[in-house]
Amino acid sequence: MGGYSKNLDMKQFAKKISQKVKKAIFLKGEESNNLIRLMEKFDGDDKIVGTFADLKKAVLKARDCADQGDVVLFSPGCASFGMFTNEFDRGDRFNKIVNSLKNG
Protein backbone atom coordinates (compact mmCIF):
# COMPACT_ATOMS: atom_id res chain seq x y z
CA MET A 1 0.00 0.00 0.00
CA GLY A 2 1.03 3.58 0.01
CA GLY A 3 2.20 6.17 -2.42
CA TYR A 4 1.15 9.77 -2.62
CA SER A 5 -1.62 11.58 -0.80
CA LYS A 6 -5.17 11.97 -2.06
CA ASN A 7 -5.76 14.41 0.83
CA LEU A 8 -7.78 11.88 2.80
CA ASP A 9 -7.76 11.43 6.56
CA MET A 10 -5.84 8.19 6.99
CA LYS A 11 -6.12 7.86 10.79
CA GLN A 12 -8.86 5.21 10.85
CA PHE A 13 -7.22 3.34 7.96
CA ALA A 14 -3.90 3.25 9.85
CA LYS A 15 -5.69 2.18 13.03
CA LYS A 16 -7.40 -0.74 11.26
CA ILE A 17 -4.16 -1.79 9.59
CA SER A 18 -2.42 -1.74 12.96
CA GLN A 19 -5.16 -3.90 14.48
CA LYS A 20 -5.92 -6.34 11.67
CA VAL A 21 -2.94 -7.08 9.42
CA LYS A 22 -0.04 -9.43 9.97
CA LYS A 23 2.47 -7.28 8.05
CA ALA A 24 2.36 -4.01 6.10
CA ILE A 25 4.58 -3.38 3.09
CA PHE A 26 4.64 0.08 1.55
CA LEU A 27 5.47 1.58 -1.81
CA LYS A 28 7.49 4.78 -1.58
CA GLY A 29 5.66 8.08 -1.25
CA GLU A 30 4.69 10.82 1.15
CA GLU A 31 1.47 9.11 2.22
CA SER A 32 3.39 5.95 3.00
CA ASN A 33 5.49 7.95 5.46
CA ASN A 34 2.30 9.39 6.97
CA LEU A 35 0.72 5.94 7.29
CA ILE A 36 3.84 4.59 8.97
CA ARG A 37 3.81 7.44 11.50
CA LEU A 38 0.13 6.83 12.19
CA MET A 39 0.64 3.08 12.55
CA GLU A 40 3.36 3.76 15.09
CA LYS A 41 0.87 5.89 17.07
CA PHE A 42 -1.55 2.95 17.06
CA ASP A 43 1.15 0.49 18.20
CA GLY A 44 1.40 -1.09 14.76
CA ASP A 45 5.11 -0.43 14.30
CA ASP A 46 5.93 -4.14 14.74
CA LYS A 47 3.87 -4.87 11.61
CA ILE A 48 5.77 -2.47 9.34
CA VAL A 49 8.10 -4.43 7.06
CA GLY A 50 9.48 -1.56 4.99
CA THR A 51 9.06 0.83 2.11
CA PHE A 52 9.98 -0.15 -1.43
CA ALA A 53 10.60 1.88 -4.59
CA ASP A 54 10.11 -1.22 -6.72
CA LEU A 55 6.83 -3.15 -6.93
CA LYS A 56 8.50 -6.48 -7.66
CA LYS A 57 10.71 -6.19 -4.58
CA ALA A 58 7.64 -5.34 -2.49
CA VAL A 59 5.73 -8.36 -3.83
CA LEU A 60 8.71 -10.65 -3.24
CA LYS A 61 8.97 -9.37 0.33
CA ALA A 62 5.24 -10.01 0.82
CA ARG A 63 5.72 -13.56 -0.42
CA ASP A 64 8.61 -14.05 1.99
CA CYS A 65 6.50 -12.77 4.91
CA ALA A 66 3.44 -14.87 4.08
CA ASP A 67 2.73 -18.29 5.50
CA GLN A 68 0.64 -20.90 3.70
CA GLY A 69 -3.01 -19.83 3.90
CA ASP A 70 -2.24 -16.13 4.34
CA VAL A 71 -3.80 -13.56 2.02
CA VAL A 72 -1.59 -10.97 0.35
CA LEU A 73 -3.77 -7.97 -0.41
CA PHE A 74 -2.53 -5.39 -2.92
CA SER A 75 -4.30 -2.28 -1.70
CA PRO A 76 -2.51 0.88 -2.75
CA GLY A 77 -5.07 3.29 -1.29
CA CYS A 78 -2.95 6.14 -2.66
CA ALA A 79 -1.76 7.63 -5.92
CA SER A 80 1.39 6.21 -7.52
CA PHE A 81 2.84 9.17 -9.39
CA GLY A 82 5.94 8.29 -11.36
CA MET A 83 5.83 4.56 -10.66
CA PHE A 84 2.98 3.61 -12.98
CA THR A 85 1.18 5.09 -15.97
CA ASN A 86 -2.19 4.72 -14.22
CA GLU A 87 -4.14 2.41 -11.93
CA PHE A 88 -4.57 -0.14 -14.71
CA ASP A 89 -0.83 -0.28 -15.33
CA ARG A 90 -0.30 -0.72 -11.59
CA GLY A 91 -2.74 -3.65 -11.44
CA ASP A 92 -1.38 -5.24 -14.62
CA ARG A 93 2.18 -5.12 -13.29
CA PHE A 94 1.10 -6.61 -9.96
CA ASN A 95 -0.75 -9.43 -11.73
CA LYS A 96 2.23 -10.11 -14.00
CA ILE A 97 4.59 -10.38 -11.01
CA VAL A 98 2.23 -12.68 -9.10
CA ASN A 99 1.65 -14.87 -12.15
CA SER A 100 5.40 -15.17 -12.72
CA LEU A 101 5.75 -16.44 -9.14
CA LYS A 102 3.04 -19.05 -9.69
CA ASN A 103 4.61 -20.20 -12.95
CA GLY A 104 8.24 -19.98 -11.91
pLDDT band at 50 (very low <50, low <70, confident <90, very high): very high
Q: Which residue would you say has higher pLDDT here, 5 or 104?
A: 5
| pLDDT-wise least confident of 45-49, 53-57, 69-73, 77-81 | 77-81
Domain boundaries, the chain: 11-103
Render the burial of 84-99: b for 16+ CB within 10 Å, e for the rest.
Answer: beeeeebeebbeebee
Is the pLDDT at 78 greater than 70? The verdict is: yes
Q: Phi/psi zone of residue 81: left (φ > 0), alpha (ψ -120 to 50 degrees), beta? A: beta
Express each pLDDT in 20-37 by its tens digit. Answer: 999 999 998 888 899 999
